[in-house]
Amino acid sequence: MKDLWSDDDCGFDDALGCCAYGSRLLGGDRSLVLHGGGNTSVKADWTDITGPTVDALYVKGSGWDLASIEVPGFTPLPLDRLHDLLGLDALSDADMMDELSAARLRADAPQPSVETLLHAYLPFRAIQHSHADVILGLTNVADAEDTLAEVYGDDVVVVPYVMPGFDLAKAVQDCWADQAHEGTVGMVLRHHGLFTFGDTTRAAYARHVDLISRAESFLDRVVPHEPAGPCEAAEAVLTELADLRRSMSVAAGRPMVLSRHHDDAIGRFVARPDLADLTGRGPLTPDHVIRTKRTPMVGRDVDGYVAAYGAYFARNEGRTDDDLTMLDPAPRVVLDPDLGLLTAGATPKDADIAADIYRQTIPVLERLEDGRGGYVALDEGHLFDCEYWDLEQAKLRRVGAPKELAGHIAVVTGAASGIGRACAAELLDRGAAVVGLDLSGSVVETFSGPAWLGVPTDVSDHDAQAAALRAGVERFGGLDLVVVGAGIFPGSAPIADLDLDTWRLTMAVNVDAVAALFRDVAPLLFRSPVGGRVAVIASRNATAPGKGAAAYSTSKAALTQLARVAALEWAEHGVRVNVVHPDNVFDTALWTDELIAERSAAYGMTPDEYKRRNLLGMGVGAAHVASVVAELCSDRFAATTGVQVSIDGGSERTI
C-alpha cells in the first residue's frame, strides 16, 4: 500500500481536520473501503457554549462516505458518557443507538457509527478502520489464526467475528485485555477488517499502510495472483437480457435495473468449473450481504434462486424472537458463462454498488481458493443475522420511498437539447434510468450520474441507432419507455421550390429513423415488466399544416400515422403508444431571437405578444411538453393508448 499522506495536501493543524483528510485517503482506495464502509475517529476537545471543555470522540457519521467526508460528517460525543455505556453488561443495538443519538454534542450532527463504542474504548486518540481486501484474504481461510500469526506475530489483536455494535465493543474489551501490549499497532476483526490507531491520524494511517503492505507482501509471496488472460465476451442477445430482467423484476416485486459487465478477469472467473460451489459459500464480509445477497445466482434460473432464498430464510428466521418479513428474494449478482457478471438493483446506483463489490470479491476468491487451501466464508447464520439486522435495514429505509419511475428504463431521442432534453430531465427526476440519443456529442454530458447514458447517434443511420440501443440495454437491462424527440425542421419553401434532397433528409430523420427504432424496440417493450409505454413528439403541423412546410408537415403526419399503427399492433402486448403535438415551443434551438423577431414583426406583434398568441395567452415551453410526456408514460394513463394531445396553449386551427 502506498503512503499517500502529504502534510501540504492535508493543510490542517487541528486533529479533526487531519482526521477528515486521513479518512479521505482510506476512502479513496477501493481495495480498502467501498460505498460507505469503514469508519474513523479522533478524540479531541469540545468546548461547551457555557465555557467548560469536554473530552469528546468525533466519529464518522452515518450516511457519509469516507472518500468524500468533511469535518461536518463527524459526530461529537462526550467520552465520559460512552465509557458509562461500555460499563453496562448488556445493551440492545436499538437502545445503544438511541443513547448515542441522545448524547450528540451537536444537534445537527449525523447519527454516529454503530461502532462508536469500540472507538471510544480503544486507548488512542486517532483510529482508522477499513474492510481491506487483503485483510479479508488473511482471515477468510481455515487456518486464519496461524496465518495472522505468521504475518503479524503478536503486533495485532485478533478478534473473532462478532456483529458490529455493543457486543463487538465488549468482545474487543475481552480480546484487548488478553492480547494487547505496548507494541500493539493494530487489530484484525475476522471476516470484517482492520483497525489501526495512534496519537494522531497521521500515525494511525502510517500503521494502516504498514499492516496492509505486510499482508500484500505475504499474499504475493505465498499466493501470487495471476492477471487474467484475454477472454472475448459473447455478444448478448438483447431479448435474453430483457427476459432475465423481467424475471428478476417479478421476483423482486418491482422493476429492476440489470447491468452487464464483462472483462478478461470476469470472463476467466465465470468459466471456472467450480463457480457455483465457490461463490455459494458467501461474501467476503457480512457488510456486503445487504447489497449482494448472501450468494450470487449462477446461470439464469431465477425460480430456482428464489426457492433457495426462501429455504434459507426458513432455516434461519428462528434465530431471533422478532417477527421477520422476508426480503424480496431476487438475486442482486448474476454470474453467467456467456453474459459475464450482471448486477441488479432498484436503481442504477444500487446495481453499480453491487458490481463494485463483486469486482473486488473475484480476485480474493480466486487467490484463496487456488492457493491457500480454500476460501472460507462466515457461516450462513451470521450472514442472515446481518442481512436482517435492524440497523442494516434502517440504512435502506432511510433512502425513503422509491420515485414513481424507479427501476424504469427509457430511451429518449434528441435528448441533448430542446424538448428531448426536457423529457429526459423529467424522466430522470421521476426516477427513471435514461438512455439519451442525439447527433450532438454533448449528449454524453447533458446529464450526469449513474441513471444517465448519453450516446452520440445519427438516428438516420439505422446501424448506429441500433448500436446505441444495444449500449443502453447492456447498461440497464431492458426497456420500458420510449420518447421520440429527435427531428429536424427544414427551412420554409413552397412546394414549387421543393428541394428533394431536403425532403428525403426530413423523411429520413423524422419518419424512417422512427420506423427503424420501433422495429428494434418492439421485442424489448413486449418484455417490459411494467408494460411498455411510448410517447411520440409530433407537431401541430401534423393536423394543421402551414404554407411552406410541406416536408416537415408531411413527415410529422406520417410519424403520427406510424404511431397510430403501433398503438393498434402493440396493444395486445400491453404496450401503450401516444402522440403529443407541441406548437410554438420557443425555448428550443429552432427559435432563435432573430427568427422570433422576424416572425413577430410579420404579425405586427412584439416578441412577447407573438410567443403568447394562443387561446390561453401563455408561453409554451419544453417543460410543458415534458410533463405531459412523463404523465403519458406513468401509471395514471394505464388505460390510454392511441391518443393525440395538443400542447400549444389552445389554437383555433387545431380545435
Q: Which of the 8 DSSP states describes residue 13?
A: -
Per the listing, cell 394513463 goes with: 637
- Of the residues 309, 552, 603, 610, which is catalytic? 552
Could you give the CA distance from residue 481 to residue 156 in angstroms, rounded to a whole number? 55
Could you give the CA distance from residue 142 to residue 154 in angstroms, rounded to a whole number? 19
Could you give the CA distance from residue 463 to residue 486 in angstroms, rounded to a whole number? 16
Exposed, middle or buried: residue 264 (CB in 10 Å: 0-12, 13-18, 19+)? middle
β-pair partners for 433? 409
Helix, strand, or coil here: 564?
A: helix
What is the residue-wise DSSP string for 235-281? PPPHHHHHHHHHHHHHHHTS--EEEEE--HHHHHHHT-TTHHHHHTT
70 closest CA partner among 20, 34, 8, 111: 20
CB atoms within 10 A of CB 372: 20
Spell out the residues 6+ positions from residue 364 whose beta carbon is closer than 8 angstroms to its own. Answer: 133, 136, 137, 140, 284, 375
Helix, strand, or coil here: 335?
A: strand
Helix axes 302-316 and 380-387, enclosed angle (nearest 10): 90
Element (H, E) at 31: none
Element (H, E) at 593: helix 593-602
Could you give the CA distance from residue 5 to residue 27 in angstroms, rounded to a whole number? 13
Could you give the CA distance from residue 194 to residue 128 in angstroms, rounded to a whole number? 8
589 closest CA partner among 468, 425, 428, 440: 440
552 tagged catalytic: yes
Q: Which three cell numbers stand for residue 152?
A: 503479524
Bridging pattern class, strands 53-60 and 39-47: antiparallel
Could you give the CA distance from residue 239 to residue 619 in angstroms, rounded to a whole number? 43
488 closest CA partner among 386, 543, 420: 420
Q: Which of the 8 DSSP states describes residue 636?
A: G
Could you give the CA distance from residue 40 to residue 19 in angstroms, rounded to a whole number? 7
Spell out the residues 6+ positions from residue 387 whose beta carbon is closer than 8 angstroms to its own. Answer: 286, 289, 290, 293, 294, 327
Contact 484, 537 (CB under 8 A): yes
Sheet containing strand 126-130, strands side by side? 74-78, 53-60, 39-47, 126-130, 193-198, 186-189, 156-159
Contact 475, 352 (CB under 8 A): no
State whether the Cα torsion 194-200-206-211 is positive or negative.
negative
Element (H, E) at 130: strand 126-130
CA distance readout (Å), 455 to 27, 235, 403, 468: 31, 19, 25, 6
Q: Which of the 8 DSSP states describes residue 379?
A: P
Catalytic residue numbers, as ranges: 552
